[in-house]
């Protein structure tokens, strides 16, 4: 029985009110930063439009990463008849610069597809200290192509078979500790060759058409392979969910619940020493602990309880949610003090009593609880920043409305997982 069916059975609400299928969830795994190079096909068989789609795809993938000197570093190689290092890890230190650098890469319209040259250049000129490669960071390479090694039978420079060279260079790259991911686009791809290039079939995406490229699929695969996920470390996470009148409808409230459900789906839920425990506080004119950290031993029970939370009308007494968090949220925890305690506040407006809110926020933070703020609609960004733990850029998330909440789910997941990974 999928999540929608459980939802309808438990609450009687319709599928259109709460669209979420657990079996099709695309939750993200946590990540640490990496040295990431993209090898991008620029051969004639692509055409300019498809090439531009490739670049847009790379940009969308990179939107999920924090890029910087001590975060993820990015390099790009293009290839057709030859290969060209567009920029290495030393070149750019901000996401904006990396994305602009990608947009500036020209289409070469080459006659052949010498994949092996791109792989060799990555090994010799990118994954080396001189190019900014960092020994303590995971090395990842993503190769995008719409074809196969061409010429595959003979290379005039090496006098070897082209496909043999591709296989050798891929093996060399993997031997040096690089995790390789392949993306084959269209009907001309040699899928056997691409699986061989990749670090196993799990790292290969087969795409029927350039328009079918989905950055979320690659992003999830990359995250699953960067490092050990936060599934092996414990944390206590409590969501504070706004159900005040300004939300407007049960459907909008259900969007908040959907966000939490999808988020929770990425964790190992339980009461074990390495599990993540989740609680939920709802608030409007009053606030209440819907269920605590010790309430549920498995994900299914927790998700069912989430669906039983009722919508109510009232004011936005955000401070009352934090009072419940402070007094009840972690009061019965017997876990070691090293286990992260996290609060996530979700709200669509300004608090009705901002002075009381400031007072309780100070107490919460002194208790060592890490706060993340998510605002949507007519939200007060200054108040979101005040509620959240510093720095704001990793703890505050703002979207246009409740319908776009999912656009920040992956990023929130990564930040919380990074916090868990540091414990």
Instruction: For 259-277, write each residue's pLDDT tens digit.
Output: 999 888 778 899 999 899 9
How far is 239 from 306, CA to CA, in rounded Å?
Answer: 11
pLDDT greater at residue 26 or residue 200: 200
Model confidence band, residue 4 (pLDDT cutoffs 50, 70, 90): very low
Model confidence band, residue 220 (pLDDT cutoffs 50, 70, 90): low
388-399 pLDDT tens trace: 999 888 899 998
Place of tokens 């007060």: 380
129-173 pLDDT tens trace: 999 999 888 899 999 998 788 765 555 555 457 788 899 999 999
Q: How far apart are the first and last CA of the chain?
A: 36
How far is 66 from 89, CA to CA, in rounded Å?
Answer: 14
Q: How far is CA 246 from CA 145, 157, 374, in A?
A: 49, 69, 16
Model confidence band, residue 423 (pLDDT cutoffs 50, 70, 90): confident
Q: How many CB atoms lie within 10 A of CB 69?
A: 10
Q: How far is CA 398 from CA 59, 374, 412, in A?
A: 21, 6, 11
Strand boundaries in 80-225, DSSP class E: 83-87, 138-145, 178-185, 204-207
Tokens of 32: 């640490």
Cα 150 vs. chain centroid, distance in angstroms?
35
Cα 347 vs. chain centroid, distance in angstroms?
22
How far is 410 from 284, CA to CA, in rounded Å?
Answer: 27
Model confidence band, residue 349 (pLDDT cutoffs 50, 70, 90): confident
Model confidence band, residue 46 (pLDDT cutoffs 50, 70, 90): confident
Q: Is the dihedral of CA 387, 392, 394, 396 positive or negative?
A: positive
Is 52 a residue whose pLDDT tops 80? yes
Q: Is the dihedral of CA 292, 332, 268, 295 positive or negative?
A: negative
In sequence order, what are the residues at sequence separation of 6 or more whose Cβ sits closer than 8 angstroms to the Cβ of residue 64? 28, 215, 219, 223, 410, 411, 414
Once rounded to an integer, what is the mean pLDDT over residues 217-246?
A: 75
pLDDT at 22: 37
Q: Which domains does the chain have, with CATH numbers?
A: 34-226 (3.40.50.410), 230-421 (3.40.50.410)
Model confidence band, residue 197 (pLDDT cutoffs 50, 70, 90): very high
Model confidence band, residue 7 (pLDDT cutoffs 50, 70, 90): very low
User: Which one, of 253, 240, 235, lies nearest residue 422 by Cα?
Assistant: 235
% of the chain surpassing 70 pLDDT: 86
Strand boundaries in 329-412, DSSP class E: 341-347, 370-376, 396-399
Once rounded to an integer, what is the mean pLDDT over residues 95-117?
A: 92
Is 28 a residue whose pLDDT tops 50? no
pLDDT at 385: 96
pLDDT at 121: 97
């Amino acid at each position: 029985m999928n999540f929608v069916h459980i939802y309808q059975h438990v609450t009687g609400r319709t599928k259109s009110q709460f669209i979420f299928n657990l079996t099709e969830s695309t939750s993200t795994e946590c990540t640490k930063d990496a040295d990431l190079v993209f090898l991008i096909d620029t051969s004639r068989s692509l055409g300019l439009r498809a090439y531009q789609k490739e670049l847009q795809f790379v940009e969308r993938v990179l939107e999920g990463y924090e890029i910087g000197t001590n975060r993820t570093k990015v390099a790009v190689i293009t290839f057709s008849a030859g290969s060209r290092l567009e920029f290495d890890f030393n070149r750019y230190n901000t996401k904006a610069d990396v994305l602009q650098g990608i947009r500036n890469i020209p289409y070469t319209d080459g006659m052949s597809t010498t994949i092996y040259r791109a792989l060799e250049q990555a090994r010799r000129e990118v994954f080396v200290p001189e190019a900014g490669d960092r020994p303590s960071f995971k090395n990842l390479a993503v190769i995008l192509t719409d074809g196969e090694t061409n010429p595959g039978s003979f290379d005039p420079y090496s006098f070897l078979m082209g496909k043999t060279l591709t296989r050798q260079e891929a093996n060399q790259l993997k031997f040096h500790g690089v995790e390789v991911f392949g993306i084959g686009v269209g009907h001309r791809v040699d899928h056997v060759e691409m699986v061989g290039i990749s670090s196993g079939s799990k790292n290969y995406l087969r795409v029927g058409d350039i328009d079918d490229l989905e950055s979320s699929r690659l992003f999830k695969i990359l995250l699953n392979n960067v490092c050990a996920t936060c599934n092996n470390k414990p944390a206590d996470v409590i969501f504070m969910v706004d159900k005040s009148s300004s939300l407007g409808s049960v459907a909008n409230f259900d969007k908040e619940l959907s966000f939490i459900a999808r988020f929770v789906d990425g964790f190992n839920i339980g009461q074990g020493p390495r599990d993540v425990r989740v609680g939920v506080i709802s608030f409007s004119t009053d606030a209440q602990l819907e269920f605590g950290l010790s309430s549920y031993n498995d994900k299914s029970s927790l998700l069912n309880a989430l669906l039983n939370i009722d919508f109510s009308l009232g004011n936005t007494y955000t401070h009352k949610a934090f009072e419940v968090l402070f007094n009840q949220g972690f009061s019965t925890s017997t876990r070691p003090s090293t286990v992260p305690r996290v609060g996530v506040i979700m709200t669509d407006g300004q608090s009705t009593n901002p002075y009381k809110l400031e007072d309780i926020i100070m107490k919460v933070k002194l208790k060592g609880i890490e706060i993340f703020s998510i605002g949507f609609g007519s939200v007060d960004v200054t108040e979101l920043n005040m509620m959240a733990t510093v720095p704001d850029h990793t703890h505050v998330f703002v979207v246009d409305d409740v319908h776009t909440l999912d656009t920040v789910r992956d990023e929130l997941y990564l930040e919380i997982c990074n916090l868990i990974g540091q414990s």
